[in-house]
């Protein structure tokens, strides 16, 4: 446990749900943990006790699922075990997806089709996910490679990792339903006996949705608020001049009005209390990283590829490298938009950033 974690409270200690089982974390709220074949090796999913009217005007008891895991055999098998043993013999009535990343949306279509359940997601993330999951060529991958080459990536292995990442989405995300229910900031959902309010977030995904239940004192934070690691914040070729870090920091401030003792249910890591402390930690973390980037660019013009080892001095595998490059660019852009850096394109076609005379650290 690092120093920041010691300032948070983990009400369930080191207890984790075993594969194919659940832990109840609040009345009618169950925690599922599924494995992932990445360095970030798990995702938390949530079951919310629910009910819905049937076609005859009666009431059906069941569950709302929040997030779904990637589309691969191991997660399907774990879902089969959960369906058989942990849903009390009740169906899934609806599927909520916090955002379009594969570990969250991958099996949404499979679950919706299996139970005849509707999909709830932001419109932005639905359309991005649907387009990416249906893509059958490598056009997007090559665009990504060109984009990061312009930001200093010249290593063939790294470029291939970027190419592979762009082509992997349809392999990790199954076909999505052709219809969906739109979630927006402030959308109120009645799930069982409880009211849940959507809180939108940006910078990590196009239009991420967290879910807050005041009566239960619970926040399903998705990837916007994690207890141990900082959420990846990247700039992508589809929005090449995004100010993603500003969007993320402004988004987590939306959690400020929530009660201090709120139980936070993150997508990765353990449920925790200490929401306001964690928001402050993330602001401090990124302020430190921005200072490191500024100092590096004051010493010499730097590309995003050259800033990556400043932010991530440890060895990274190819999958991690793609995230690290995007995050390096997000920090450079934050300083560039704040006019603390200027951006110049060299004769080699690479963008480099250097500190302005007025803002270079002493």
Phi/psi class of residue 190: alpha, beta or left (left: φ > 0; alpha: ψ in -120 to 50)? Answer: beta
Cα separation of 182 and 332, whole Å?
33
Q: Which helix (H) or strand (E) holds 293?
A: helix 275-299
Q: Which helix (H) or strand (E) holds 122?
A: strand 119-122
What's phi and psi for 4, nearest 5 deg?
A: -65, -40
CA distances to 54, 155, 310 from 306, rounded to whole Å, are 58, 12, 8
Domain range 5-140+173-283, its CATH number among 3.40.50.720, 1.10.490.10, 3.60.15.10, 3.30.565.10? 3.60.15.10
pLDDT value at position 316?
Answer: 82
pLDDT value at position 106?
Answer: 98
pLDDT value at position 136?
Answer: 54
pLDDT value at position 233?
Answer: 97
pLDDT value at position 137?
Answer: 47
The residues spanned by each domain of the chain are 5-140+173-283
pLDDT value at position 351?
Answer: 98
Pick out the chain residues at pLDDT < 50: 137, 362
What's phi and psi for 182, nearest 5 deg?
A: -80, 130
Cα separation of 289 and 11, whole Å?
30
């Amino acid at each position: 446990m690092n120093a920041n974690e010691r300032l948070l409270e983990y009400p369930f200690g080191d207890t984790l749900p075993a594969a194919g089982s659940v832990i109840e974390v609040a009345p009618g709220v169950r925690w599922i943990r599924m494995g992932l074949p990445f360095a970030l090796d798990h995702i938390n999913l949530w079951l919310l006790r629910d009910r819905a009217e049937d076609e005859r005007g009666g009431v059906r008891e069941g569950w709302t699922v929040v997030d779904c895991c990637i589309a691969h055999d191991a997660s399907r098998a774990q879902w089969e075990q959960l369906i058989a043993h942990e849903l009390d013999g009740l169906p899934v009535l609806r599927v909520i997806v916090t955002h379009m990343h594969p570990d969250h949306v991958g099996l949404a279509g499979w679950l919706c089709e299996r139970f005849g359940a509707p999909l709830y997601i932001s419109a932005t993330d639905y359309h991005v996910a649907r387009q990416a999951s249906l893509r059958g060529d490598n056009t997007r991958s090559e665009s990504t490679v060109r984009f990061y080459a312009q930001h200093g990536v010249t290593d063939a292995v790294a470029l291939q990792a970027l190419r592979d990442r762009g082509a992997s989405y349809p392999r990790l995300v199954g076909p999505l339903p052709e219809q969906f229910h739109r979630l927006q900031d402030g959308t109120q959902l009645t799930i069982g006996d409880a009211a849940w309010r959507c809180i939108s977030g940006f910078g990590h995904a196009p239009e991420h949705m967290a879910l807050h239940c005041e009566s239960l004192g619970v926040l399903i934070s998705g990837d916007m608020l994690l207890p141990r690691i900082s959420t990846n914040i990247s700039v992508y070729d589809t929005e090449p001049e995004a100010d993603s870090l500003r969007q993320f920091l402004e988004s987590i401030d939306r959690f400020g009005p929530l009660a201090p003792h709120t139980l936070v249910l993150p997508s990765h890591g353990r449920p925790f209390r200490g929401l306001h402390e964690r928001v402050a930690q993330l602001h401090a973390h990124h302020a430190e990283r921005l200072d490191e980037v500024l100092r590096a660019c004051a010493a010499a013009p730097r590309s995003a590829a050259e800033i990556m080892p400043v932010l991530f001095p440890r060895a990274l595998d190819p999958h991690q490298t793609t995230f690290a490059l995007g995050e390096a660019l997000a920090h450079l852009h934050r300083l560039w938009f704040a006019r603390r850096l200027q951006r110049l394109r060299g004769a080699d076609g690479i963008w480099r950033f250097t500190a302005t005379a007025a803002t270079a650290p002493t």
